[in-house]
Amino acid sequence: MAERRPYRSWIGRAALVAALAAGGAATASEPLDPVALKRLVHQDCGSCHGLTLKGGLGPDLRPQTIEHYDVDILKSVILDGIPDTAMPPWRPLMTEAEADWVARYLLNPEDTQ
């Protein structure tokens, strides 16, 4: 019998609702919306990583705890998720530019406009 993973179903539905509410991912030609991306980080990412990003179902994402990662690694995790964990791939819901912004924001929130 297949192993059930109810959290994946919940995460998938939450991601779909977030995408529909945001109108889908921006196209490559649309400018980034830092306010919307910051909200996405604190609400959507925060639903697993804690609203203050101190950790929850997912690990702590505060700059001091992830500073050993570079932007490209974080961007890859955001876009492609982590297999066999609750971290879903966001590639269907955001552009690479948006994932890059999120990774930079996580590493240094003060410098991201």
pLDDT in tens, 24-79: 555 556 789 999 999 999 999 999 999 999 999 999 999 999 999 999 999 999 99
Per residue in 83-97, pLDDT tens? 999 999 999 999 999
pLDDT of residue 69: 97
Nearest-10 crossing angle of helices 71-80, 96-107: 130
For residue 28, the model assigns a pLDDT of: 56
Instruction: Please state, in angstroms and as integers, the Cα–Cα distance from residue 39 to each residue in 7, 22, 36, 52, 111, following that order.
Output: 22, 11, 5, 12, 16
Q: Is residue 108 pLDDT above 80, yes or no?
A: yes
Query: pTM for the complete prediction?
Result: 0.74
